[in-house]
Structures are given as structure tokens and as C-alpha cells.
Amino acid sequence: MKLEIGNIFIKDIQFAAESKVADGVLYVDKAALEKVVLEDETIKAVSFDIAKPGESVRITPVKDVIEPRVKVEGPGGIFPGIIAKVDTVGSGKTHVLKGMAVVTAGKIVGFQEGIIDMSGPGAKYTPFSQTLNLVMVCEPVEGLKQHDYEKAVRLAGFRVATVLGELGRDVTPDETKVYETCGIKEGIEKYPNLPRVAYVQMLQSQGLLHDTYVYGVDAKKTLSTILWPTETMDGAIVSGNCVSACDKNPTYVHENNPVVEDLFAQHGKTLNFVCQIITNENVYLADKQRSSDWTAKMCRLLDLDGVIVSQEGFGNPDTDLIMNCKKIEAQGVKTVIITDEYAGRDGKSQSLADADAAADAVVTGGNANEVIILPKMDKVIGTLDYVNKIAGASEETLQADGSLKVELQVITGATNETGFINLSAR
């Protein structure tokens, strides 16, 4: 499977009478995008704003972050099963508006939305302080249930990102990258002396606003399966969950998964990147056992030498993580796990809710309970009405001077478990 990614570097976003990309500037017609959002009758109103790196701006409560892309050649379209038809994606050519993102925000849904600070100490902990952000704040109609509101905002974000991505269809990319993996037999013949490595990605799927979608299907309704790694670059996996902001994978992270990127960088050099295996994180023990059994079975069937396993969330999913690690290691496949820690504000508590001797190669995204003071910003996009309630905050979060005393848990992407940020721990 071969995919060419054409990156169109966006250097600025400006509101204008016409939406277009010209000379590295994304011009946005707010009125046209409002119509796209308000196609859903459950959204009463929407407002758009722009947040740029270095500005004294706070965005909250953040729900999802999405990178606009467009399929210009090859089968299918971006966000298959949600926006585009259900065709297998991951081949051909895709153009990307690189350096910017669509950020969805609005009233609280699951009490685990996040904060993005575009400057100050909090900016160091979120990758999205470095992107030019088009923020859409959605207001639901009265009486709309939480899960319906989440769905409405989620789909509106994908529609807006699709419209913006389309603007890059006929733009010549500033940079083109090629990603290619081969079939099982071809890979063995082509790289006979390289270790066979796969990426096992655990998808949040505990329900109750804790869901991820694969080709439009709720991941908790699926069994562990195999993807070409390039499929995720075309939006085959999207976020639909409100787990703690620090370690949730927004759609942007799925589109730009750093584990996939790093494995491709080593493919054909130090390893043979065989495939991506996706598995879910469930609530009930039997479901956890079933999914981890299937994951380990696939690793054995593929005759893998090693895997990287990434988690999403914490607590209950720690059991899935350790089950996957233990069972894959039992198949003779070397395993490295990526997680984060909830070790208490003093860093002295047990980091994970589960453990096993097999988990002897661990990469951590840091301690989500670490406390930080976020200074008052000149501008808030969204609302601070719920800032004391989101996960990682408390009744004392909003200080008299307008600053916020919070755990890193509230910052979108702060301890991301794919490594999509620089924080770690030793």
C-alpha cells in the first residue's frame, strides 16, 4: 500500500469573503462555514474564532482537534464511513493543510474536555499551541442530551474540516512524503534480515462518551483487526470520546500518529514495518480477554519479532494494556508499551492500576497529576463556566486573579500516550 502525502504549509489564517488557500494563507468565509455547521438542527448557533501561537488566548472546553485533508487521487475519501463512503483508504495521494487545525469547543459534555493555552507555561504541554487554530464554538438547542450534543459537534467538526481540506485539492504541495508497506510474503522476501515489527494501537471504547470510530463503526463493536498504517492518515480512525484531555487522542493525533511516523522512518532500514493492529478497550472482563487474546493471536500468526503497544486513557484501560503486553510476550514477541502515569501530585503513588513482570520495556508520557498554575489569559475562546469541573480541576481551580490551578490532566495532549508531545519521566 502506497500513499503520497502532499503537505501545504499554512502560515496564517484570516477571515475573508471567500474561502481559499493562497500563498500559504488560509482565507475563511465564516458565513459559509456557519451554514455547514447549522445543517444539524440540534446545533442552535456556532461562532468561529482564530487562535495563533504566542497569543494570550485560552481555548476551553476543547472537544476535538482535526487536521483538514483531501483525497486527490486513489480510492475513497477523507473520514470514510462518516463523511466519505466506506471505501478502503490509505493509497493514492492526499493533500494536507499542514500547520493548522480545526478545534471544536462548546458547553461541557463529559466533564473531561480540555484546555489549550496558546502562550504561557501551559503552551509547553500541548502540541496545539503550535498550530494555527480555527476554533468553532457550538451552542446546542435546549434540552439536547449529552451524547447527542457530542455527536452533533463531532460530525460538525468533520464537515468543516472536509470543506477546508477541499480548498487544498488543486494547490501544489510544498512538500511530498511517500509512505509504503508491502504484503506479508513480499516483505519477508524484501527484508529477510530485518526484524518484523507491528504497531498495536489500543482505541478508547468504554462507551458513555468514551468511544473511537473506525470507518464509522464504534470500536467497542469490533474485534481486533489489521490495518495498513496509511489508512489512519486518511481519517479511517477518528475520536469520539471525552476521556481526560491529557491522554485522549484527538482526531489530529490519529491522522498524524507519531508511532506510525517513526516506524515508517525506520522501515527498510532497521526494521520491517509489517502492519498496524487495532484493538479496543472495554469495560467488562470477558471483552478485555477476548480482545487481548485476538491481538496476541494476530501477532503470532504474523510471525512478528516485536510490537509497540500504545494505550488511550488510564485506570480501567491499564488492565487492557497489561493483558495485551503479557499475552503478546507469551507468544515470544518482544513488546514495548507506551502509557502515561497517574502517580499522585507528589509522584509517589502507583503509576498504573495494573502491572506485570512482562511489562519490562515502558515509555511514559509523564505524570498527569502534576500540578501547574496557568496564568490568566487576555482572551478566552469558549467559556470558563465549567473550568472547576473538568477532570484534573477542583473547586479551587479558578483563582481570584484569574489564574488556574490544575493538574496536567486538563491540558489537551499533555501526557499523550502515542508520544505526541515532548513530556516523559524517568
Please say if 242 is a catalytic residue: yes
Per DSSP, the residues of 293-330 read HHHHHHHHHTT-SEEEEE--SSSHHHHHHHHHHHHHHH
Q: Looking at this protein, which amino acid is placed at residue 292? A: S
**Strand pairing class (362-367; 334-341):** parallel
Q: Computed from CA positions of residues 64, 228, 70, 155, in that sequence, does the dihedral angle turn out positive or negative? A: negative
Q: Which residue from 237, 245, 244 is spatially nearest to 203, judged by alpha carbons?
A: 237
Q: Looking at this protein, which amino acid is placed at residue 381? A: I
At 338 the three-state DSSP class reads strand
Cα angle 176-179-181, degrees, rounded to a multiple of 5: 165
Count other Cβ atoms within 10 Å, centred on residue 178. Answer: 10
**Per-residue burial over 373-408, b = 16 or more CB atoms within 10 Å of its CB, e = otherwise:** ebbebeeebbebebbeebbbbeeebbeeeeebebbb
Catalytic residue among 138, 182, 242, 275: 242
Question: Which three cell numbers mark 231?
Answer: 489508512
Catalytic sites, residue numbers: 242
